[in-house]
Chains A and B, each alone.
Chain A
Amino acid sequence: MTDSPSHDDIVLLARQAGLNLPPAYLQELVEAYGNVRQMIDRIPTGRPRGDEPAHVFVPTKFLPAGQ
């Protein structure tokens, strides 16, 4: 479990994400992020280096039509 970010941390993270929110929406973000953080904290870490994620680039998908 990571340390929960403080309100000020979240304001900073929001700014870095380009979100300059009015106070009501900022409070909404703080609450929503708390829920998202709980999910993220349950995702396994410590993966092998070569562990591919589920999204990979398939070059044949991007060939022009007819090739």
Chain B
Amino acid sequence: MAALEFLTIAEASKLIATRKLSPVELTEACLARIEALDHLLDSFVTLTAERARAEAKAAEATIMASGPVSRMHGIPYCLKDIYDTAGIRTTGMSRTLADNVPTRDSYCTEKLVAAGGVLLGKNATWEFAHGGPSWDVLFPPARNPWNRDYSPAGSSSGSGAAIAAGFAPATLGTDTGGSIRSPAAACGIAGLKPTYGLVSRRGVIPNCFSHDHAGPLAWTTEDVAILMQVIAGYDPEDPGCANVPIPDYTAALTGDVNGLVIGVPANWLETDNPPTPATKAAFEAALDVFRGLGATVRPVTMPPLQQFDDCKKTIAVAELFTIHAADLRARPELFGDSLRYRIIAGGLVRAEEYILAMRMRTDLARAMQAVMATVDVLMLPTNEPAGKLEPIPPASLFTRSSFTTPFNTGGNPALSVCCGFAANGMPFSLQIVGKLFDEPTVLRAGDAYEKATPWRDKRPVLVAKETA
């Protein structure tokens, strides 16, 4: 058996269901590791140890009496600090919400509580899931467990770091332009941005209503599937939520990708935003693994990458300004420099420009679905390996293209998994994108890849600082 803190959800839930592991024991192992090592990473902004111990004890009693109610029963988890948690401070890392204590749980929090999960605490994020990394907001930025001098990316930065560090087997993040997939990529874990509307955003502090997605991060794709089973579903209180049947996500993990047709967006990789040679080599090696499993790979042509960036970022800056307008007018100094720069110009975007961008989104989403109709999945790198943790010029948000944003605009499900390690030890990442609501195929591909490769066997090594 792996050390308790490195058990996956799938492994721990089996042991708990057969009474070989107590939720109390597992929770104490996670709390002890956080206590000993999180000063190195700052991945938590709030620890809920007392609540976790109470929930673990209650889970243990119920499971002993009548068995688990779900595969998350008795499993520790954490939440990005933009998910509302009743009675627990929810700040979005922002000084404007320093004293914000919600009175109601988010939809996803409610689902995890009902599933018997054990809340360990709240994870660091970039301010309001958008501006960062920042050193002038409520808490310090999280660090990457593979190398503390490196960034865990954002905005679900603490979530990615906490999973890779073995602080918790499960967490939820949010993704408006890549904020689940980028930390998953930087930290070498699995992270899924589900189809837009599949997971309710009710009770999640908004970033950009039209592109916000809530979703899971975990060590493996199988664990991501287990979390999706808990949080996916129709919520009438989220106007963007889709009322669709929820499949059995773990049943889709057959390991069989024979015959899978993989599209590779050649124009993005060759012309629009060519990856570095090392990232390209890691990506090609991942495609070879799929070929070896019986999949076929073919190039596809997508609309130019910059069109997605122009469309999404114009919409986002206008929506972000509207969300934060009162504070930007009355107390702009409370925002971190990075976020303020990234949203303040939204006040100058005219309604016509916003609507033109929304019309452009229609075109791009249709074009994307037309390409997706010709393949089973798309594959491409999620990002380059993580860089140093240092301030990013805020203008880069507007000028830099990404491989993640297009799938927020299209709404398609997109999973990031680890596909090896660079010479400096930082993880490479593979992004797997599916048709709308076809999470089962995306998860099946991610799971098959992980089981065919050795990358899930390697964990970062963290050594506690000696105290004087």
Contact = CB atoms under 8 A, between A and B. Distances in A.
A47 B395 contact: no
A54 to B, nearest CB: 4
B347 A17 contact: yes
A39 B357 CA distance: 10
Interface in A7-37: 10, 13-14, 17-21, 25, 28-29, 31-33, 35-36
B110 interface: no
Contacts of A35: 345, 395, 398-399
Nearest to A57: B239
Interface residues of A, number: 33
A51 interface: yes
Given A32-B394, A43-B310, A47-B356, A19 B344 contact: yes
Given A18-B325, A18-B329, A65-B236, A43 B362 contact: no
A18 B325 CA distance: 9
Contacts of A17: 321, 325, 347-348
B349 interface: yes
Contacts of A43: 310-311, 314, 353, 356-357, 360
Given A36-B349, A43-B311, A54 B358 contact: yes
A33 B362 contact: no
Contacts of A14: 347-348
B355 interface: yes
Given A21-B332, A53-B355, A39 B236 contact: no
Nearest to B241: A61
Contacts of B359: 44, 47, 51-54
Given A28-B340, A32-B341, A62-B239, A40 B314 contact: yes
Contacts, number: 103
B309 interface: yes
A32 B348 CA distance: 10
Nearest to A38: B398
In the A-B complex, the 7 residue pairs with the closest CB atoms: A53-B358, A17-B347, A35-B398, A54-B361, A32-B345, A33-B345, A39-B310
B210 interface: yes
Contacts of A54: 210, 358-359, 361-362, 365
A28 B363 CA distance: 33
B339 to A, nearest CB: 11
A31 B393 CA distance: 12
Which one of A36, A45, A65 has the greatest number of beta carbons of chain B within 10 Å? A36
A36 B362 contact: no
B317 interface: yes
18 contacts: A17-B347, A18-B347, A19-B344, A20-B329, A21-B344, A25-B332, A25-B340, A25-B344, A28-B344, A33-B345, A36-B314, A36-B348, A39-B310, A42-B307, A45-B356, A51-B362, A53-B358, A62-B239
B49 interface: no
B313 interface: yes
B143 interface: no
Contacts of A20: 329
A10 B348 contact: yes
Interface string A41-67: 011110100011111001001100100
A65 B234 CA distance: 13
B330 to A, nearest CB: 9
A47 B360 CA distance: 10
Contacts of A25: 332, 340, 344
Nearest to B326: A18
B62 interface: no
B360 A36 contact: no
Given A13-B348, A32-B341, A19 B329 contact: yes
B328 interface: yes
Contacts of B340: 25, 28
A32 B395 contact: yes
A63 to B, nearest CB: 8
A33 B348 CA distance: 8
B462 to A, nearest CB: 37
A22 B140 CA distance: 26
Contacts of B369: none
Contacts of B346: 36
Contacts of B363: 44
A62 B355 CA distance: 22
A17 B318 CA distance: 12
B342 interface: yes
